[in-house]
Amino acid sequence: MDDKLSPATREEIQALCRKISVAHHLDAEIQEELHGHMEDKLAAYLDGEEALSEQDAFILVREHFGDPAALKRLLQDVHVHETHVSLALRLAVAFAVTTGLHALFGIAARAFLHVWPAARGMGGFQAVVALAATTAIVVSWLLLWRWQRGLAAGRTPWLLTRRPVYLVGVAALVWLLQSLAPISVLFDGSAPMLDLGNAWLIIVAAITAWPVLQCIVWLWWCDRPPRRARTAGAVAGVWALWMWLSSSLGILGGCLRAGALPAAASLPMLAQSVAMMLGYFALCAAIACGLYAAASYAATGLARASIARR
């Protein structure tokens, strides 16, 4: 009876038994006993001694079919998800959420620094700004993730019932108001410089990490199967353009608030800074696209491998 089982099958049974670990000094004996049981059962199926019940047959079908989650992922790479949310609306929602949360947490950070000036020194300023930026990104992802689940369950969140133009308009207004809000000028001192010596690389990495993360959140939210490179390109492009525009306008707004329009002589320098910012955000968008694509392909590859293993 045992000759029917191949060494590979025996090894699989052994591996299964090894997973059932009880106590080191007992395991060998317990595993031998379980191994014997499984071999008996398998051989009985092969011999036809053990009848295949409906439940047994279903287990076989399920195992042969593969992990439903992996299969879903593979199918979603091929078929368009049934949703009425257009790319324009998704972009508008991402824009509105990002702008709203950054305004909210930005104002909160500035208010905190105003109320507690002692926090501005010794890296406190950077820590508060970093915390606000990180919280805004995490909360935006949580919100979008919740709405994504709602959409998958057939519900349409309120924000997604609005027209894209309306959302963009409101978000732009929020951005403008938060830029002009009195709270933003309560603390008009420049950020205290932090001397970290040779740690500049860490600072650059950290400064780049936030926009990259934010762009990844946008990509994840807007990316609907079937995955298309041009969709990702469009999303990253819009994101980079908006970031560049808001930063440039922020600089200009800062100059206006200080009552100092850039002198004619300094205009080329200003133009150079603005151009560099465009390059910086384009680079962040490219990094985000690369990371997102790598993660997506890795997940699909794992799903495919898990199906193939069965």
Partner 1 sequence: MNKELVGASTGLLVLGILARSASYGYEIVKRLNAEAEGLFLWQEGTLYPVLHKLEKAGLVRTQWQDADTGRRRKYYYITAEGREALTERTEEWNAFNQMVLRLGEVRNG
Does 32 sit near partner 1 (CB under 8 A)?
Answer: yes
The residue range among 34-42, 167-175, 209-217, 289-297 that interacts with partner 1, by the rule CB under 8 A, is 34-42
Does 55 sit near partner 1 (CB under 8 A)?
Answer: yes
Within 9-28, the residues that bind partner 1 by CB under 8 A are 20
The residue range among 40-48, 156-164, 166-174, 225-233 that interacts with partner 1, by the rule CB under 8 A, is 40-48
Say how far apart CA 218 and CA 90 lie, in whole Å: 9
Which is closer to partner 1, CB of 3 or CB of 82?
3
Minimum distance of partner 1 from residue 303's CB (angstroms): 29
Selected from 53, 161, 190, 198, the binder of partner 1 by CB under 8 A is: 53
Tokens for 99, please give them: 């702008």
Does 2 sit near partner 1 (CB under 8 A)?
Answer: yes
Nearest CA to 101 among 147, 139, 157, 145? Answer: 139
The residue range among 30-38, 75-83, 93-101, 114-122 that interacts with partner 1, by the rule CB under 8 A, is 30-38
Does 1 sit near partner 1 (CB under 8 A)?
Answer: yes
Nearest CA to 139 among 214, 205, 220? Answer: 214
Residues 6 or more apart whose Cβ sits within 8 Å of residue 257: 185, 188
Say how far apart CA 152 and CA 76 lie, in whole Å: 12
- Could you count the other beta carbons within 10 Å of the beta carbon of residue 70? 20
The residue range among 36-44, 127-135, 172-180, 244-252 that interacts with partner 1, by the rule CB under 8 A, is 36-44
Burial of 260 (0-12, 13-18, 19+ CB in 10 A): exposed
Minimum distance of partner 1 from residue 37's CB (angstroms): 5
For partner 1 (CB under 8 A), the number of binding residues is 16
Tokens for 218, please give them: 């946008």
Minimum distance of partner 1 from residue 40's CB (angstroms): 4
The residue range among 37-45, 79-87, 151-159, 249-257 that interacts with partner 1, by the rule CB under 8 A, is 37-45
Does 47 sit near partner 1 (CB under 8 A)?
Answer: no
Tokens for 274, please give them: 């603005």
Which is closer to partner 1, CB of 32 or CB of 188?
32
Residue 198 per-residue DSSP state? T
Minimum distance of partner 1 from residue 6's CB (angstroms): 15
Does 188 sit near partner 1 (CB under 8 A)?
Answer: no
* Side chain identity at residue 256, one-letter code: L
Does 41 sit near partner 1 (CB under 8 A)?
Answer: yes
Residue-by-residue DSSP string for 128-168: HHHHHHHHHHHHHHHHHHHHHHHHHTT---GGGGS-HHHHH
The answer to whether the Cα torsion of 255, 258, 260, 266 is positive or negative is negative
Nearest CA to 235 among 177, 293, 178? Answer: 293
Burial of 13 (0-12, 13-18, 19+ CB in 10 A): buried
Minimum distance of partner 1 from residue 296's CB (angstroms): 38
Does 33 sit near partner 1 (CB under 8 A)?
Answer: yes
The residue range among 39-47, 72-80, 130-138, 292-300 that interacts with partner 1, by the rule CB under 8 A, is 39-47
Which is closer to partner 1, CB of 15 or CB of 78?
15
Residue-by-residue DSSP string for 70-89: HHHHHHHTTSPPS----HHH
Residues at the contact surface with partner 1, assessed by CB under 8 A: 1-2, 20, 29-30, 32-34, 36-37, 39-41, 44, 53, 55
